[in-house]
Chains A and B, each alone.
Chain A
Amino acid sequence: MSEKIKLGRPAGFFDVFERRPGAIKKNMHYCPGCGHGVLHKLIAEAIADLGITHRVVLAAPVGCAVFAYYYFKCRSIQCAHGRAPAVATGLTRSNPDDVIISYQGDGDLASIGFNHILQAANRGENMTVFFVNNAIYGMTGGQMAPTTLPGQKTQTSPLGRDVLETGYPIRVCEMISQFDAPVYVERCALTSFKNIMAARRAVRKALQNSMDKKGFSLVEFLSGCPVNLKMNAHDMSEFIETKMTKFFPLGVYLDRAAEREPIVRAEMNYDADKIKSLLYPEEIQSELGDYKCSSPVFDKECRVKISGFGGQGVLSLGYILAILGKQRNFNVSWLPSYGPEMRGGTANCSVVFSKSHIGSPEAAENCDMLVCMNQPSVEKFLPILKAGGVLVYDSSTVKLPEGAAKDHYVYGLPASDLANHLGDLRAANTVMLGAIAAVMADNFLDDADKANLDTAMIEAVREMFAKKAKAADINIEAYKTGKEKIEFKSVPKA
């Protein structure tokens, strides 16, 4: 690699800037003495010299470099203010062989988009960030930037930046180099020949890291904005070299690319069979073939509410009923309580069966069956059980208040005790399932459905515990126990 800056236009630029509107197609839009112009040349030259024109995608910022995509002979995308590292993340994850450049100003990177750059750095995204720190908002006409120096006058700090009001300049390199993931962080200045040569090396090093998939590299460039700082070229250089470098010392902050293995991202798999084996479950052959229940009770919606403590398997119990509905080709919906409702240890779910349309999946009113596995459930949900509906409760955890449920059919059984006796308290819910089956047989099913009920229920339990044969056996045992031990308590009084 030659240590000479080539004269003339680097090959990484378009010959003619066709994308630039208006008459001027040969020059860039930057002001004379602007650091962006200098850096663009270093980058264009590096892209050409490294032979990566075809690999580079440039993510351009909002700021004076918003039109960077006019100039670079590569693929490019213009991003929202501060969001380039997120866009660049989408780019690099999509096409890991590409070399992604996120080009950003100080307002863009260290103010509005600060979280994005920190997070992209911390994820170690394979990208190169070129960060132009000109201590000012150039594009919008010279407002204070997060990197504006103490005392520096800007449009929004007319008396000079007061650190007690607005804080101190943010040192990006120092922060980023604290993370574990990034591989290379350096601060350069676009001033003297010596500094520009160092910047030139840094540009290439960062790009080489991206080419080698080493991860996240960031190079900061202390840069001139003579227009907004109202300085001539000489004063601008002096400001950068004496004032800015005091806050922003030049140098390498991090360089560990050599120690890092290249990032390997998975190849995307487009095989249709693979997708199917991922998403389509194994078919479970039913002894009942495609037997469909014939009991007329299911012609309209049957709503079941199941409630208890979290951990009692309330949601799973509802889920088994939903599996049953799916296997027997009902329309079925299952709706769990979610979010904060789940906190404080209670859980409930609604299951609705129907051979026709299911409206609300929430058993919020007119429930046909209420299954209670703890005391609070009785108080909470008895009011939504319709007159003539069925209450089934776990008598080891619930004591039915005197006079409660007088409009309902009431069944109870010590499900938790029975499950304990079977050796697994967790099977209390399938003991309840057995009870539900018995209640259905008693109240709702025609003869054909009654005859097939056990097979249907057991198949649903088997699907629930598809990969756990032992758990399936215990739960089937529990089901049978529940069906046998259920006790009929009372009928509606009216």
Chain B
Amino acid sequence: MNRTNRVLLKGNEAAVYGALLAGCECYFGYPITPASEIAHASARLFPAMGRVFIQAECEIASINMVMGASAAGKRVMTASSGLGISLKQEGVSYIATAELPCVIVDVMRGGPGLGNISPEQADYNQVVKGGGHGGYRCIVLSPGSVQEMCDLTMLAFDLADKYRTPVYVLTDGMIGQMMEKLELPEPRPRRMPPAWSLDRNVSADNWISSIYMDPVDLEETNRRLNRKYDEIREKEQLVEEFMMDDAEYAFVAYGIASRMARSAVDELRKQGVKIGLVRPKTLFPFPENALRKAVKNGVKQFFSVEMSNGQMIDDVRLAIECARPVALINRMGGNVPTVEEIVNRTMDVIKGGK
């Protein structure tokens, strides 16, 4: 019987498919809308491959189970949304410091507080900037489609291993809930337990810890981590540019907001505005190179299009060292900006600026 790799999936399911194709061996999570389909699909698919699925007692437990499984030499994933990610932060800091690989999917919902379950992007700061205590960073990937939910989840596992660090797939309720067609990649061969792990076949007495009582040791650890983050900045920036060749204006938008921004580019181009889109596929590292190139190539005004209270805009300004004005086009609270809205606000800024 022939099988096809062309499927229709929800974004949340695509992340689970990507995880399994990447050889993920364990899933630990706690239910939360709009991320729950990740747990549902994992509960169904992981045991079918003899893999581990546990519904943990809370997000704190699930991230610590992730830590245990990662230490044990397994590829491991968890997923949650906003408030659950807040609870995981202590564990993420430990995992980052102990330099263990893992993948965390954050399907962002409306906040702060209990907020709502509609899509937002306001976990940006808590995910992209570290989030927990201490000076660590995580690699952050931001899919813009269901296909990328699968592909970037797979990439997340590879980057997590390459740099021995937690990697987030930062998405939102709309991409998580929507269904699109995608082509499933080939499954990867098994990743064997790494030499540093607590797998008994690789070591009799490896140990994993994040405590360095001597300030000299801890400073050296911090420096080592930061050298790693610099290397990640240098090598791993991923971006998609749309109509940027002759752009005088540029949207910067990721995830679901980037899709409306792209439609707005089409619309504005029809009206004769030379505008393009820079879509970060990595938020850490932030695609500074692409933004600096845009400045050099003549972009005179940037727009940070985001579903948050002006969080990514800081990174845009930093990337271009405030060489150009950056305007904020945003919605919050679970509202998704419409194309019309983006177009109108862009025109207001452009006209006001002239």
**Residues of chain A whose beta carbon lies under 8 Å from any beta carbon of chain B:** 14, 19, 21, 53-55, 57, 59-60, 66-67, 69, 73-80, 83, 86-95, 97-98, 115-116, 119, 123, 266-270, 272, 274-284, 301, 319, 322-323, 325-326, 331-336, 338-340, 357-362, 364-365
Instruction: Give the docked Cα–Cα distance between A358 and B178 (Å).
Output: 12
Contact A79 B200 (CB under 8 A): no
- B8 contacts the other chain (Cβ, under 8 Å)? yes
> In this complex, which of B5, B21, B178 has the most chain A Cβ atoms within 10 angstroms of its Cβ?
B178
Contact B198 A77 (CB under 8 A): yes
Smallest CB-CB separation from A98: which chain B residue? B200
How far apart are A347's CB and chain B's nearest CB, in angstroms? 13
Smallest CB-CB separation from B52: which chain A residue? A93
Contact B8 A90 (CB under 8 A): no
5 pairs of A and B residues whose beta carbons are closest in the complex: A90-B68, A359-B263, A94-B72, A86-B64, A78-B209
Instruction: Give the docked Cα–Cα distance between A76 and B208 (Å).
Output: 6
The residues of B that contact A322 with a CB separation of less than 8 Å are 8, 179, 181
Contact B208 A78 (CB under 8 A): yes
Contact A90 B70 (CB under 8 A): yes
Beta-carbon contacts of B39-72 to A below 8 Å, as 1s and 0s?
0000001011111101011101110111111111
Instruction: Give the docked Cα–Cα distance between A54 and B1 (Å).
Output: 46
Instruction: Give the docked Cα–Cα distance between A281 and B17 (Å).
Output: 12
> In this complex, which of A60, A89, A278 has the most chain B Cβ atoms within 10 angstroms of its Cβ?
A89
Contact B72 A95 (CB under 8 A): yes
Q: A86-B61, A94-B69, A272-B189 are in contact. List 4 more A-B contacts (CB 8 A).
A: A93-B54, A115-B58, A119-B56, A335-B177
Instruction: Give the docked Cα–Cα distance between A116 and B58 (Å).
Output: 9
How far apart are A483's CB and chain B's nearest CB, in angstroms? 24
146-191 of chain B: CB within 8 A of chain A? 173-174, 177-181, 184, 186-187, 189-190
The residues of B that contact A358 with a CB separation of less than 8 Å are 180, 259
How far apart are B53's CB and chain A's nearest CB, in angstroms? 9
- B250 contacts the other chain (Cβ, under 8 Å)? no
The residues of B that contact A326 with a CB separation of less than 8 Å are 6-8, 181
Instruction: Give the docked Cα–Cα distance between A92 and B205 (Å).
Output: 17
Contact B71 A87 (CB under 8 A): yes
Picked from B20, B21, B57, B217, the residue with its CB within 8 Å of the CB of A119 is B57
Say yes or no: A282-B49 contact (C-beta < 8 A), given A87-B68, A94-B74, A333-B178.
Answer: no
Contact A86 B68 (CB under 8 A): yes
Contact B3 A334 (CB under 8 A): no
Instruction: Give the docked Cα–Cα distance between A358 and B198 (Å).
Output: 46
The residues of A that contact B143 with a CB separation of less than 8 Å are none
- B23 contacts the other chain (Cβ, under 8 Å)? yes
Say yes or no: A79-B67 contact (C-beta < 8 A), given A277-B3, A339-B33.
Answer: yes
Contact B198 A360 (CB under 8 A): no
Interface size range of chain B in the complex: 35 or more
Picked from A91, A274, A319, the residue with its CB within 8 Å of the CB of B68 is A91
Say yes or no: A55-B200 contact (C-beta < 8 A), given A77-B207, A340-B117.
Answer: yes
The residues of B that contact A14 with a CB separation of less than 8 Å are 205
The residues of A that contact B179 with a CB separation of less than 8 Å are 319, 322, 333-335
How far apart are B191's CB and chain A's nearest CB, in angstroms? 10
The residues of A that contact B173 with a CB separation of less than 8 Å are 338
Contact A90 B65 (CB under 8 A): yes
Instruction: Give the docked Cα–Cα distance between A409 and B17 (Å).
Output: 42
71-91 of chain B: CB within 8 A of chain A? 71-74, 76, 90-91
Contact A75 B207 (CB under 8 A): yes
Contact A338 B34 (CB under 8 A): yes
In the complex, 29 of the A-B residue pairs with CB atoms within 8 angstroms, ordered by the A residue number, are A74-B204, A75-B200, A75-B207, A77-B209, A78-B210, A78-B211, A79-B67, A86-B60, A86-B62, A86-B64, A87-B64, A90-B26, A90-B69, A92-B68, A94-B52, A94-B73, A95-B73, A95-B199, A115-B57, A115-B61, A116-B61, A266-B47, A280-B5, A331-B181, A332-B180, A333-B180, A338-B117, A339-B117, A365-B340
- B338 contacts the other chain (Cβ, under 8 Å)? yes
- B326 contacts the other chain (Cβ, under 8 Å)? no
Instruction: Give the docked Cα–Cα distance between A20 and B257 (Å).
Output: 51
Contact A270 B23 (CB under 8 A): yes
Contact A364 B336 (CB under 8 A): yes
How far apart are B340's CB and chain A's nearest CB, in angstroms? 7
Smallest CB-CB separation from A273: which chain B residue? B187
How far apart are A264's CB and chain B's nearest CB, in angstroms? 12
- B213 contacts the other chain (Cβ, under 8 Å)? yes
The residues of B that contact A90 with a CB separation of less than 8 Å are 26, 28, 64-72, 76
How far apart are B227's CB and chain A's nearest CB, in angstroms? 22
Instruction: Give the docked Cα–Cα distance between A97 and B199 (Å).
Output: 11
How far apart are A298's CB and chain B's nearest CB, in angstroms? 15
Smallest CB-CB separation from B212: which chain A residue? A21
Say yes or no: A268-B20 contact (C-beta < 8 A), given A73-B205, A75-B200.
Answer: no
Say yes or no: A359-B262 contact (C-beta < 8 A), given A75-B204, A89-B54, A332-B180.
Answer: yes
Instruction: Give the docked Cα–Cα distance between A109 and B180 (Å).
Output: 46
The residues of B that contact A338 with a CB separation of less than 8 Å are 33-34, 117, 173, 177
